[in-house]
């Protein structure tokens, strides 16, 4: 999956066309759905609000955060786990949290605008989470969970 950072700027009113308006609404919709999300699995989601006092914003940003939703810049930042937890401790999110975040966003969209394509995508994301859980259980049973061993 490729994540694309979208930034939309307009120099004059003539630049504001239907395509740009649709992109802006879609981006605003994503950010709006994230406002209610407090946790993704065990990971706390930090919300940096637009217009937040600079010192408060800087403190929140500088603390060790794994998922940050910045409403000012309309971005989502996810810090990924670098090595096995048994070797370095928890220093980021697992791929499970990234998939769960995607599932939560899509589920919120589907509440407002139900669609069979969204429902199918949600089922596939849930299937991916189930397979990753099966992998984890298999690795635990073989005694290789938390290591680079195959």
Beta bridge partners of 39: 44
pLDDT of residue 125: 97
In a domain, 47, yes or no: yes
In a domain, 1, yes or no: no
In a domain, 10, yes or no: no
| Over residues 94-106, mean pLDDT | 91
Given a contact cutoff of 8 angstroms between Cβ atoms, the answer to whether 87 and 102 are in contact is: no
Per-residue H/E/C for the chain: CCCCCCCCCCCCHHHCCHHHHHHHHHHHHHHHHHCCCCEECCEEEEEECCCCCHHHHHHHHHCCCCEEEECCCCEEEECECCCCHHHHCCCCECHHHHHHHHHHHHHHHHHHCCCHHHHHHHHHHHHHHHHHHHHHHHHHHHCCCCCCCC
In a domain, 76, yes or no: yes
The pair of three-digit structure tokens given for residue 135, joined into one six-digit string: 């992998």
pLDDT of residue 123: 97
| Over residues 130-143, mean pLDDT | 93
In a domain, 62, yes or no: yes
In a domain, 3, yes or no: no
How many structural domains does the chain have? Answer: 1
In a domain, 29, yes or no: yes
Q: Which residues contact 30 (CB under 8 A, 6 or more apart)?
A: 105
Domain that holds residue 138: 18-142
Q: What is the mean pLDDT of the chain?
A: 77
pTM of the model: 0.70
pLDDT of residue 17: 52
**Predicted confidence (pLDDT) at residue 114 exceeds the cutoff of 70:** yes
Among 42-46, 59-63, 75-79, 133-137, the range scoring the smallest mean pLDDT is 59-63
Cα separation of 11 and 37, whole Å?
34
């Amino acid at each position: 999956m490729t994540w694309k950072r979208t930034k939309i700027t307009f120099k004059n009113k003539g630049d504001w066309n239907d395509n740009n308006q649709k992109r802006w609404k879609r981006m605003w919709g994503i950010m709006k759905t994230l406002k209610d999300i407090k946790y993704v699995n065990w990971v706390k989601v930090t919300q940096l609000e637009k217009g937040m006092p600079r010192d408060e914003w800087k403190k929140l940003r500088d603390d060790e955060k794994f998922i940050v939703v910045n409403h000012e810049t309309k971005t989502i930042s996810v810090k990924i786990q670098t090595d096995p937890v048994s070797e370095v401790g928890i220093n980021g999110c697992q791929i499970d949290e990234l998939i769960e975040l995607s599932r939560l966003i899509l589920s919120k969209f589907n509440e407002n605008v139900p669609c069979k394509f969204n429902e199918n995508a949600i089922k596939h994301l849930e299937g991916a989470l189930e397979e990753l859980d099966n992998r984890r259980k298999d690795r635990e049973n073989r005694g290789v969970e938390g290591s680079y061993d195959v």
